[in-house]
Structure formats: structure tokens, C-alpha cells
Structure 1
Amino acid sequence: MNKKNVLAALAIIAISGGLLAASTFAVLHFVPTPVPELYGESKRQGIPPMTLANSKIPILKVEASMPATTVKEYLEQTMTEEDIQQIYHYFDNIKVEVEASNRKITDPEAKRLEVLKEQYIYEGVRPQKPLPLKEGNYSFYLDLSKATYVYPERLLTDEELLQYIDWHSRVNFALSKRIVKPQPDSKDISEADALAKAHDSVTRLFDVDVSKLKVTILYNKFGPGQIGEWIVHFQPYNVERLQASAETYFMYDVFIDSLTGNVIDTTLFNSNYKRTPITAAMKEQIKQDHSWIDAAKTIVREKQGDTRAITNTSFIEDVKNDQRGVVAISISLEDGNAYTAELRYPEKTLRCLIYEPAPKKI
């Protein structure tokens, strides 16, 4: 367990004033990867991170029926101050990066865990008893004194998986109370404006209707200058079940400068997209193929709707992009601002559009 990662993740979760469904919330810089690991995400166990939900998360107009969640209310009603202090004590004094365990979770267990997670969040399914937290006559328990999970040789039952989910929900709930939440200033754009900008950007760039997707919005400050930023995430309501069944689903992340209101980054995540790494030979062919530049220009002009004259275009050399199967193209505008369009290889489809404002003159 890495305490810095835990606190960073919880800070992100707590920013919007509640427990967010953040297991798939993409907040890393321009890359649609999961949020930094929450407490209890164990590399050895291979158990997916927990998700928590808050019924007060702001949502767009939704035409489909929205699943409700009572997780926050449930935890507030059932967790005592003693429970919370026990979690604080354990978290503050644990000496290992990740908890140990006597075996790894199996693939069938992991798939059932995702389904039960969704039922826990949206259907109110709860364990009959809490996860045991000390050694004893139990088939499955967490020994807090040794920071070790003890699994039975058999597969975990649904009850035991629910105990695991419930324990991590309680831990995240308790630790989120410690976080000081950044608040937007009077000079920042409002949450409603940020939400509208994110909705517009995703709709324009990817031709999708996000009205039926779950939306999470939070405000964050970063860097030495404590620069404000709105982060908006769209995902299906049943993402846990889709993950468990390996079905394809899409998520969208939008980063907005809270002072200027500029949409800085709009990114698409495709759960089942198969990357095609770009070799040196492929790269040379791409450089000779002007259709890549044309595709990027079309996105800026027709999708983004930017009417400023384009003064220069160029391929961005980046080994990581090659490994990810991404062709990044820089597009400079007449006023010094620029875009970076990241296109998937070989389809030339947009993965991410990044806006790069011109440096301020001193």
C-alpha cells in the first residue's frame, strides 16, 4: 500500500463533496487510465479497485431510468466512530506497501466481484455479516495485526465477496473524511458552466449522446500555482457489469481550465480497443501519408469548429505514442495557440484532442 497514492486518490474522490464512483475515473494527465489505486487495491491479490457512489453526484438530463444508490446513507447509518477510528489506526500504522495474502483471487472470483459491486452500489445488496478483521475460526478474513488477507482454498462465496466490497467501501468512506476539499474561487467558472462545456465537447468531437451516461464532476487545484481545473467524467451506469462480461463500453474525460473556461483535453476510452504498436517502418510510412495531417485538420476545423487559420502542422515524435499505437499531430494557429490531435493507428480515429493556449506575454 502506498500512502501517497492513497491520499492522492482520496483527495480526488473527496473534492466534489462525496464518495464518487471512481474506479474507472480517468484523471491522469491526458491518459485514460484508472484513478490511482484506492486503499486495498493489492497487486498480489489482483482484486479490482472498489467503487463508491453518491446519489448527490450532479447529472445531466437523463432520459433513461437512473439507478439510485444508497451506499453513502448506508455507511453513515452503520459505521460508528469506533469503526472509523479503527480504520484510521490501521491505515496510519501499517508498515507494508500492500497487504499480503495466502493466494491470488481467481478470474471467476474477479468477474463475480464486479457484478456484486454493481449490486452493492445500485441494488442495495449487502453482506449478512462484516468481514472479520482478526484471526479466528473464519474461512475468509483480514488479519489487521499482520496486514494479511487469509483466503479459503475453495472459491470465495458471494457473501465473502460482499464482505470484501463492504470493507473497502467503509475504508474509503472513513479516509475520505480526512481530506480537505479544494473549492472553486469566485473567478472560476461555475460547475454548471463546466458541465455544459464538457457535454458540448464530447458531443461535438465524438458524435455521441451522453445524456444517458453517468457523469461525475469535480474541482481540483494542482501545481505550485494551485491552478484550478474542472474534471468531468462520463461512463455507463452498469460499467462494473460490462467489465465483468468483457463487453465493450466507452468513457469520456474532459479537463477544463477553471479560470478561462477553455476545454484543455477531451479524451475517449474504449474498454476493448486493441492497440497496434507503431514500428519504425510504419512511422516512416505515416510521415509520407498526408491523410493523417488532413484528418487532424478536419477534426479541428469541422468537429471542434475552430475557424482560426492553421499556420503549421507537424508529427510529434514520442516513443510512448508509438508503443500505444497513437499518431500525435501538432496543429499551430495564427494567434499562437495550438492543438494536439491524437489519432489511433491505423483507423485515424480521434482518441484525444488537447488545446494548448499560447504562453502569456510577461
Structure 2
Amino acid sequence: MLSNLPFSYLFFLMMIFGTVFSVSSMHWLGIWVGLEMNLIGFLPILVYKKGMLDSEAAVKYFIIQAIGSSFLVFGSLIMYNISFSWEVLSLVSSKYFYVSVLFIISSLLMKMGVFPFHFWFPSVMSSLPWLSCLLLVTWQKLAPVFLIGVMMEISNMLWLTVLVCVMSCGSAFVGGVGGMNQSQVRGLLAYSSIGHMGWIVFAVCQSYHSMKVYFFIYVIISLCLFLVLWYLDVSLMVDLGNSVGGLLADFSVIVLLLSLGGLPPLLGFIGKWNVFMESMNSSMSMFVFFLVLGSVMSLFYYLGLFFVFVLKVFGKISSKLFKGLGFSKLILFMNFFGGWFLIMFDVFEFI
């Protein structure tokens, strides 16, 4: 367990303090320092099981975060070269300023694993324990999402809004397509997180209120889902229905997955509906179609899992109910000789 890790509470405090320091700083150097403190506190949590897969995932995560931090520093240096200030609000209309904003937005999207920087997220998450996966899809997204919102608010540039909306639509589409090819629970949740990050980033472009509501709902559903999966210790989707937790725990996993997909009237549908209604009054409403398309594809896969689970449970119940009654023999008899009985009835009726 994580409590056996030396200085585990210190790592948690450093991770939390790094995020808080980053979102409360008004200088780009302070933001960068906060993100690095968060990274230093999170890396030991990734490798607390001391396994080969955990170490590999930690190295991949460290490399991606280092590249994202270098993009952030490079973009902030360009901005400092223009305005001679490290403050976030120091904006100057210049072609170099557009380049700096592009580097900073790319760094934040890379840290979150949003399209087109999503390639590292499924491989990292597939190798982590449940606690690390929970922190990766919830807490580690908080600072980049907030900073993207700040950049969108203070820049107020149409081309940047369109670019972020295109990336969010691509993220939702990749999350829907990638989840359909997954049989592992962690890989499925990784692509689900990529799709939800697309919705959250798109919500940032619309209003802070819709983003906060969606992010809060996503954190609640993810917390419940990962706690149940941590209890069941299920690695493959085919194991649902045969786990040690019983049918009720397995059914709760399926319902939580449907809620993540946005099936009405579950909780996950409320966040999507809120973003949908907020976007109807903006000029970016045309991008909602691609977001909904990605959600429909992910929901198609979740509904398939639901029906497979229901059929598996029904098979168990029916086998216990009709055991010893010759029910299978009756089914075979009806299929072999039922047609002949119908033919004979038709002949007698004709006579």
C-alpha cells in the first residue's frame, strides 16, 4: 500500500502545493515552478509498487512533462522578450506574441494528453495502479485546465479559440474511436479521459461555469469508478460478472461507465448537456457535432458492455433456475419437432 512508502504524505503535500502554487501565481516562472513541484511530488507515487511497468510509465510521464515544461518556458521567454515582464497579464500585440501563446497552449495540452498530444496517455495509464490512475485523470488535469482558461480569457483571439476547439473535437473523436478497440479497463478509461478532456477544453472556450460543472461531475464519477475498480481489482472487461465483489459491484461499474459516456438521465449527461446549451449561444456551436459524435461512439461501446454483462448475469440466473429440470432438452425438442407439429396442425385445419 501507499502508506508503506517512506515520506508518502510529503509527496502528496508537494503535489497538492505545486498545483495550488501554479494556479495562484501571476508570473510565468511561478507557474513553471508550481508545475515542476507537482511533477516531483507525483513521480514517487507512480512508482510506489516498484514494478517494471510502473517504472516504465514513470519514465514516459517524466519525459512528456519535461517536453511540455520546456515548451512553456520557451513560450514565456518569447513573451518576456516582447514585454520585458514575467506577468501573465502583460500582453503585447505582435507576431512573436502569437508564437509564444501557441507554445504555451501546446505545452498545457501536452501535459493533459489532449489531441494531438494524446499518444502517451493510454500507454502510461495502462501500466499504473488504480490510485495513480485516479490522480492522473483528475488532479493532474486541474492546473493545465485552469491555465488554458486564463490564456483564453486574456488573449481573446479568434484564431486561438478556433484552434483550441479543433483540438478539443479531435480529442473527443480519438477518445471515442480508441475506446472501441480496448479490452483492458485501464486503456478504456484512458481513452475515456482523452474524450472528456476534449469536452472540458471546449467548455473553457465557452464559459468558466460550464467548465467547472463538467470538471466537478467528471471528478465525482471518476472517483466512484476508480474506487470500485480498486476494490474489485479487475483488469479486463470480460472479468466483469465474475469478480469477487459480486454482481452488484460489477453492475455499479457498468452504470458508472454509462454515466461517463453521457447516457441520460445519469449524472454524466448533465455536464454534457450544460456544455451543449452554453455553446448554442456562441459562434463555435458547429464544433458540438464532433463532440457529440465522439460521445456517441464511446457510448456505443459502453452499451455493448452493458448488454454483454446483462446476458452473462441472465445466463447465470437461468442456469441456476432451470438446473435439473431438463430445460435444455425441452428447448432442443421444440426446435427439432416444433415445425412438424405446426405442419400437422395446418393439415388438420385444411381437412
Q: Which has the higher strand share?
A: 1
Q: Which has the higher helix share?
A: 2
TM range (shorter): under 0.3
Q: With the length of structure 2 as denominator, give the TM-score of the two structures.
A: 0.22
Q: With the length of structure 1 as denominator, give the TM-score of the two structures.
A: 0.22
